[in-house]
Structure 1
Amino acid sequence: MRVLLVTEINKTLIFSGFLSFGTMYLSAILKKAGHQCEVTSVDYNEAEQVCNTFSPDIIAYSAFTGLHIPMVEINSKLKKKFKFFSMFGGPHPTFSPELIEEEGIDAICRAEGFEAVTNLVNKLERGEDITGTPNWWIKEGGKIHKNPIAHQVKCLDDLPFPDRSIFDKYPSYRKNKSFSFMTSFGCPYNCTYCFNHQLHKMLNKGDKVIRRRSVDNVIAEIKQVKEKYPLQYVLFRDEIFTLNKSWIKEFAEKYPREIGLPFYCVLRANHVKDDIVADLKKAGVYNVTFAIEAGSDFVRNTVLKRNMSKEAILKAAGILHDHEVPFFTYNMIGAPGETFDMALETWDLNVKCRSTSTWAYLVYPYPRTELHDYAVSNGYLDEEKSNKFLMTYHDKSILNLRDKR
């Protein structure tokens, strides 16, 4: 079958190497199963043009919260002009499955879609009944069929490498020198602003919170990309790159010998240890990022549940300075209950860390997160706004804050 994948594509994402892994993995898996795939950005004109030339049987949207809004609109417009089966997957339909009620949406996938999408597409191709397909909510004949979530893929090495060629039609992508890679899936922490605490509840017995590819499998993928594209800088997009000390040690031995390119990765302050940073340095790390989020102990640990002391953050910064590893910090401004003076504590802690650079974002409590429930129950988020979705967390705060200006 012909499957059109819709995902966010722009020059910034291409240049930074941050295009959707879900889209690339699905393309690889579907092609392996004998299907054809094409991609389009979240732009109606481009999507319409691709539909005219590709004639998709299925259009699959990879939807984050906020981004689902234009995707639903595009899907509605395309449905009026073309005949296709529409499916939505990704974080938003996983945690807000009522999206299936939107007109023009035929199915939504909850949780991991590697096997679920292929199963559904294969059934559609064979003309079989799809209403009982695991992970899927299917709308058919005015009824919504809600199916349980199946076990996740156990061994990530069994997955094909992400299909980056699907983006080759964009000239800037083919010329890009930075590409992203994932060596692991999952995060063991339960920060209130993140979806992980909800995802953990969805796991079946025997499923793992953290799954990691072998070092050899990761290196083989990087070699493949290095052969095809002018790769000069590697970005590892794992939520926390250094969770497994023995994996890092093996990586530090093999990566510089077989790849030898500078790389970036994300750390967590309480996992920043002297020996681990020494191994990263040995491997060729260029820079890293870790999250401070908030300087106020109340905001960081009570509201956001980071469970991390200022001392641990400052110690992590000190270790990185000792090993001369440049680092960036992530920060949140405007959390429920945060005052202006508390926000200044975030500034102060960043100054003390002496980070190479910092990023700061406005707090946006996504529906279905613990932070969202906290904001509503404590009066920081009005009920009528509680299920409204913003396209971005860069522009404005929807919270009722004492010092909001």
Structure 2
Amino acid sequence: MKSKRILLVFPDVSYDSLHRGYFHYGLASISAYLKSRIKDIEVTLFHIRDKNLSQGHFREKIRESLPHIIAFTSTTHSFLLVQQYAKWVKDLDDEILTVCGGVHVTLNPEEALTSPTLDVVVCGDGEYPMEALVNEWIVNKRIPNEKGIWYRKNGKIIDNGCTVVADLDSLPDSDWQLFDYMNLDAPKQGLGGIMLSRGCPYHCSYCCNRKLANIYKSSQASYIRFKSVERSISEIKNFIGKFPTIDTLYFDDDILPLKQKWFFEFAREYKKEINKPYWCNIRPNLVNSKIVEALVNSGCTRAGIGIETGNEGIRNEILKRGLSDKTIIDTVSLLKERSIYVYSFNMVGLPRE
């Protein structure tokens, strides 16, 4: 058994009985980073898909891996579950350090630390804080006073700001095999997800990106970061090498052609080196005939766009999308003329509907 043991917990519950689970880019990146930086470390994953998970089953998983640190990722809708799971950890062994990261606690670190069974909250990118926690907690039983690590001390919350990985090329490839990858929902259908960037420059009112961008301002790095084209192609090749039955890729970036110069170079290299069909997300106001041509030539078969509502007033006055009906219609027409299937993200029950 390795001398440093970490259990990552992904609450991925669903009311769909056929749900096989999703891939989590953040946890896979943290796992890969820790394994590349720390000797004699064991990182395991508890991928929770059962909404009726029992305390007994949870304890069995802990006894199997005997972790020094249990780190949860949380969105807002899963945070109640995380608090329950953290209580189960402390009921079993109070010496295990409980850590929580993810979007919810990055947006609300003080609130998250009102939960008495969470010892640490990680604000921002998790790779660097988790390395510091592993090195300090397991060896010295001390919570390090490092960037991105929030904790309680003498009844006060220690605020260490937000951490950001400025150069995504400096990170290793994701630890895809942390997951039972080929049995997840999308890979089971031959669809493999890749993320080449972090961040979005837009400030839609309903989206966490606008507040995340403000939080990340405390660092010296840009919130919007892309891997280099060379690194992106290398990672995709490695991914395909591990999972050769994947026949279509899905780029899970907020907006793949956000930086046009980068995208044109990427599209050329992707066609030359990869040449597989792919899906991606785009934003209508950034699309023109040259972008569409590059999408088509590089193998894009599906493009997702955020329409959100058919009412232009609600879309722009309430949701702050900054997209006219005409822009959306013109973009969809351009894509469909070149036989790119378009799917849209939409919300119902908005104010004024």
Q: TM-score, normalised by structure 2?
A: 0.89
Q: Secondary structure at the match of 1:2?
A: strand
Q: Secondary structure at the match of 1:66?
A: helix
* Cα-Cα RMSD: 2.3
Equivalent residue for 1:272, pick from 274, 287, 306 = 287
- 2:70 is equivalent to residue 59 of structure 1: yes
| Structure 1 Cα separation of the partners of residues 268 and 58 of structure 2 | 45
Q: Secondary structure at the match of 1:252?
A: helix
Q: Identify if the C-alpha distance between structure 1 residues 249 and 329 changes in structure 2 by more than 3 Å, giving closer, same or farther.
A: same
Structure 1 residue aligned with 2:27: 23
Q: Secondary structure at the match of 2:77?
A: coil
Is the 1:16–1:178 Cα contact (8 Å) retained in structure 2? no
CA deviation vs aligned residue, 1:288-329 (integer Å, no higher than 9, x gap): 100111122221111110011111011111111111100101
- 2:231 is equivalent to residue 217 of structure 1: yes
Equivalent residue for 1:96, pick from 108, 115, 120 = 108
Q: Identify if the C-alpha distance between structure 1 residues 118 and 48 changes in structure 2 by more than 3 Å, giving closer, same or farther.
A: same
| Structure 2 Cα separation of the partners of residues 303 and 252 of structure 1 | 35
Q: Secondary structure at the match of 1:67?
A: helix
Q: Identify if the C-alpha distance between structure 1 residues 141 and 193 changes in structure 2 by more than 3 Å, giving closer, same or farther.
A: same
Structure 2 residue aligned with 1:242: 257
Structure 2 gaps of 5+ residues are: none
| Structure 1 Cα separation of the partners of residues 176 and 59 of structure 2 | 22
| Structure 2 Cα separation of the partners of residues 204 and 103 of structure 1 | 27
- 2:292 is equivalent to residue 313 of structure 1: no
Residue identity over aligned pairs, in percent, reads 29
Structure 2 residue aligned with 1:251: 266
Is the 1:288–1:328 Cα contact (8 Å) retained in structure 2? yes
Equivalent residue for 1:79, pick from 82, 87, 90 = 90
- 2:311 is equivalent to residue 293 of structure 1: no
Code of the residue aligned with 2:294 in structure 1: it is D
Bigger mean CA offset, 239-248 vs 141-150: 141-150
Q: TM-score, normalised by structure 1?
A: 0.78
Q: Identify if the C-alpha distance between structure 1 residues 286 and 119 changes in structure 2 by more than 3 Å, giving closer, same or farther.
A: same
Is the 1:188–1:210 Cα contact (8 Å) retained in structure 2? yes
Structure 1 gaps of 5+ residues are: 340-405
Matches within 5 A, 1:143-158: 143-150=156-163, 152-158=164-170
| Structure 1 Cα separation of the partners of residues 349 and 170 of structure 2 | 42
Equivalent residue for 2:210, pick from 194, 197, 200 = 197
Q: Secondary structure at the match of 2:76?
A: coil
Is the 2:301–2:339 Cα contact (8 Å) retained in structure 1? no
- 2:145 is equivalent to residue 132 of structure 1: yes
Offset of residue 9 of structure 1: 4.3
Code of the residue aligned with 1:19 in structure 2: it is F
| Structure 2 Cα separation of the partners of residues 33 and 139 of structure 1 | 27
- 2:121 is equivalent to residue 108 of structure 1: yes
Structure 2 residue aligned with 1:40: 46
Structure 1 residue aligned with 2:10: 7
Is the 2:196–2:232 Cα contact (8 Å) retained in structure 1? yes
Q: Identify if the C-alpha distance between structure 1 residues 17 and 287 changes in structure 2 by more than 3 Å, giving closer, same or farther.
A: farther
Q: Secondary structure at the match of 2:72?
A: strand
Offset of residue 220 of structure 1: 1.2
| Structure 2 Cα separation of the partners of residues 295 and 16 of structure 1 | 32
Is the 1:18–1:180 Cα contact (8 Å) retained in structure 2? no
- 2:343 is equivalent to residue 328 of structure 1: yes
Q: Identify if the C-alpha distance between structure 1 residues 21 and 171 changes in structure 2 by more than 3 Å, giving closer, same or farther.
A: closer
